Amino acid sequence: MMTHRTRCCLFLHRCVCALALCSTTFHGVPMKHRVLALMLGAFGVFLAGCEDNTTNTPVTFIPAPPSNLMALSIDETTVRLKWTPSPSESNAEFKGYRITATSGSQTFNPITVGKGETIVEIKGLDANKTYTFTVAAYTNDTVSAGISIQWAGAKRFRGIRAFETASANGSGIRLLDGTNLTIANGTQWDVCLDTRTVGGQDNWAFGSPQASTYTDNQGRFIRGAQAGQLAKTTIIFSDSTSQGYVPYFVVADSLEAVFESQALGTGKKQAQIMIENLQNQAKSIVFYAMVAPDNSANPPANQYRFAKILLKAAGGSILQGTSPNRYVEIDYSIQTAVGVPYALVKGMMSPVNAPVVKIGSQSLR
């Protein structure tokens, strides 16, 4: 780059070269000498002001933010976050990521992780409280824009079993405390295993009690001490891209393998339905449910609890054990407080409008 001082010197050099071509004299003194003396004096003053004033303004590097922030609940007080790295990680000034958690006026001290880290666990949260988690990239001097997700912890249960219909053990599960219950306490079932033959075909199914063969078309128990009583309403989120109602699930080996990028149930249909033909399902699956607080006919929408459930496969089969005590085993997480979803759900259809899809009739809808 040619500086201001360089230009001055070049100009002076050209002037001197031009004077060297002059040979005129004046009062016995060669003209070029007299002019040169005057020019040198003037240019001495001129050059004093020709300091190099070129400035190189430093460029402030602000990293690009990460993207695709997702979350999952590890337990009631721990949430795990995951994101796609910032494209600025290759820059030498890039340091890592800064994570903050807020809920109302409560703010946790930010934590940081280094370059290349894309998963972090936030511990010490309050149970049954939704937090806003924000992740931003940072350098020593700057911080990127942040990306955020709202999420909450949830209570975790592992190894809970529901047994086949012919077993003396319970075919239903109360999700709030992980209790296995027999038909004698069917009105407390949130989910159940149904292994009766339907239409002359084996059809092992797991899901909403009102959709099972334990209940009639009005959702009331047919047999046992609770005959005539209404089963609880359990909503199973269904695939919005399918015609009719088909339970939505993800093939995964564990709950920890499935992160969420939006609130549970977003964009999904709601139905009281069962996941059918488990005898043909060789891999573990994760599905989502909303469970009513009791077996009343129309529980308020804000009284439901959200659950994320893993139906576990082993040895290439979801069905385990030997007759008459075959079973399915689930791991799951659930909100212990009512009306507190994992994340804020907007525009959620009222559960009172969720249809009952009886076992064996999914293909008809």
SS3 128: coil
Closest by Cα among 253, 314, 249, 256 to 286:
249
Q: What is the mean pLDDT of the chain?
A: 84
Per-residue pLDDT tens digits for 159-205: 999 999 999 999 999 999 999 999 999 999 999 999 988 678 889 99
- Say what the pLDDT of residue 19 is: 40
351: pLDDT confidence band, cut at 50, 70 and 90? low
- Say what the pLDDT of residue 17 is: 42
Lowest mean pLDDT among 95-104, 292-301, 325-334: 292-301
Per-residue pLDDT tens digits for 119-168: 999 999 999 888 999 999 999 999 999 999 999 999 999 999 999 999 99
- Give DSSP secondary structure letters for 169-196: S-SEEETTTTEEE-GGGGGG-SEEEE--
- Say what the pLDDT of residue 145 is: 98
Does residue 268 or residue 229 have the better pLDDT?
229
Between CA 236 and CA 218 the distance in angstroms is 18
* pLDDT of residue 16 exceeding 50: no
* pLDDT of residue 345 exceeding 50: no
- Say what the pLDDT of residue 169 is: 96
* pLDDT of residue 283 exceeding 90: yes
- Say what the pLDDT of residue 342 is: 62
Between CA 334 and CA 154 the distance in angstroms is 5
57: pLDDT confidence band, cut at 50, 70 and 90? confident
User: Taking each helix axis from N to C terminus, what angle separates 31-48 and 4-19, rounded to the nearest 10 degrees?
Assistant: 170
Per-residue pLDDT tens digits for 88-124: 999 999 999 999 999 988 888 999 999 999 999 999 9
67-152 is a CATH 3.30.930.10 domain:
no
- Say what the pLDDT of residue 292 is: 93
261: pLDDT confidence band, cut at 50, 70 and 90? confident
224: pLDDT confidence band, cut at 50, 70 and 90? confident
Between CA 27 and CA 5 the distance in angstroms is 36
Lowest mean pLDDT among 71-80, 83-92, 198-207, 220-229: 198-207
7: pLDDT confidence band, cut at 50, 70 and 90? very low
Compute the average pLDDT of residues 248-259: 96
> Which H or E element spans position 34?
helix 31-48
Separation in Å, CA 293 to CA 107, 189, 342, 343: 31, 11, 17, 19
Lowest mean pLDDT among 109-118, 286-295, 342-351: 342-351
- Say what the pLDDT of residue 352 is: 54
Between CA 137 and CA 86 the distance in angstroms is 7
- Say what the pLDDT of residue 38 is: 40
* pLDDT of residue 24 exceeding 70: no
